[in-house]
Structures are given as structure tokens and as C-alpha cells.
Amino acid sequence: MKPKNQRLVLVSAALVAVLVAVLLAMWGLRNQASFFFTPADIVAGKATDGQAARLGGMVEKGSVRHDPDGVTIRFVVTDGKAQTPVVYRGIVPDLFREGSGAVAEGRMQRGTFVADTILAKHDERYMPPQLGNLAAEHKAGKTLEK
């Protein structure tokens, strides 16, 4: 076989191998894919019941309610155009609070978003408390001595 034909066979085999790898990866991750929706998308009917999804928006002020069981929390996520009720069973992140951003991972069930995971978002000026104290001292003119 000529070297030109050998290269052609090798390149073809490599392309087939890459295509097979991509198809296997897509098939393996098909249940892990989730769509991102806003409350306006949900009101528009873009999310279907039982479909894995992420819901993002702001936690509406005055909407957070704790159930008597101590671990279930109910709140409303809004994007300024629409609201979606959310129920979550578990411990919420420290940054989770009314008026701040949150992303809930879960699925819609009869008009309520049932979350498996809550991710709290912070603004771009967020600084961990430990670093916040150092920054305040630095602004006040105090230097760190070792």
C-alpha cells in the first residue's frame, strides 16, 4: 500500500474513532443535561413537568417560608416579569436570602418547581468575611505586620 493511501486510511479511522467517542459521550450524558429557565419561561410553558431543569432568578422578598419539619423551605423566584414557587428539602447555602440571586436545580411538578439543589449567587462585590476584615483594615491604613 502506498504511503498516501496509508495516511488516508489512518485519518479516516481517526475520524470514525472521534465520532464514535462523541456519540458515546452524548448518549452517556443524555440524562444529565438540564435546561436553564427563568420564571417567565416557565409561565410561557417552556418547561414540562418532570423535565430536569435549572430555574434562575431573584428570591422574592417576603416569600421564604420554613415548614414545621425544619428542613423544607418554600419560596418564590422572580425575574421581574413572572414568579415561580419553589420547594426545597434540605439545608440552603449561607448566601441564600431574600432579595438575592439563586439557581435551583430540579424539575417542575404541577406548577411548582421541586428543587434537588439550591445554589446561591452573590454579586460581583462579594468578599468572604475573612478577606473583608483584611480589606477594611487595609483601607483604614493599618498594615499587616508579621
55 and 26 co-located in one domain: no
> Are residues 57 and 13 part of one domain?
no
Residue 137 lies in a domain: no
Q: What letter represents residue 111's amino acid? A: G
**Other CB atoms within 10 A of residue 49 CB:** 9
Work out how many domains the chain is built from and give that number: 2
Instruction: Return the amino acid letter for 31.
Output: N
Burial 70-108 (b: 16+ CB within 10 A, else e): eeebebbbbbeeebbebbbeeebeeebeeeebbbbbbbb
Examine the pLDDT at 17 and tell me if it is beyond 90: yes
In the predicted structure, residue 4 carries a pLDDT above the cut 90: no
Q: Quick check: is 5 in a domain?
A: yes
Average pLDDT over residues 123-129: 56
Residues 46 and 89 in one domain: yes
On whether residue 9 sits in a domain, the answer given is: yes
Report yes or no on 70 lying in a domain: yes
Confidence of residue 94 (pLDDT cuts 50, 70, 90): confident
Nearest CA-CA partner of 55 in 124, 102, 1 = 102
Find the CATH number of the domain harbouring 94. 2.40.50.140
Spatial CA neighbour of 89 closest among 67, 110, 109 = 67
> Are 89 and 50 in the same domain?
yes
> Is residue 40, in this structure, part of any structural domain at all?
yes
Q: Are residues 52 and 75 in the same domain?
A: yes
Rounded mean pLDDT, 65-88: 92
Judged against a pLDDT cut of 70, whether residue 2 lies above it is answered with yes
Residue 17 lies in a domain: yes
Q: What pLDDT band is residue 133 in, cutting at 50, 70 and 90?
A: low
CA distance 13 to 23: 15
In this structure, are residues 100 and 58 in contact, taking their beta carbons and an 8 Å threshold? yes
Q: Is 51 in the same domain as 116? A: yes
> pTM for the complete prediction?
0.63
101 and 116 in a single domain? The answer is yes
What pLDDT is recorded for position 145?
A: 47
HSE-up of residue 29 (Cα within 13 Å, Cβ side): 8
Domain that holds residue 87: 35-120
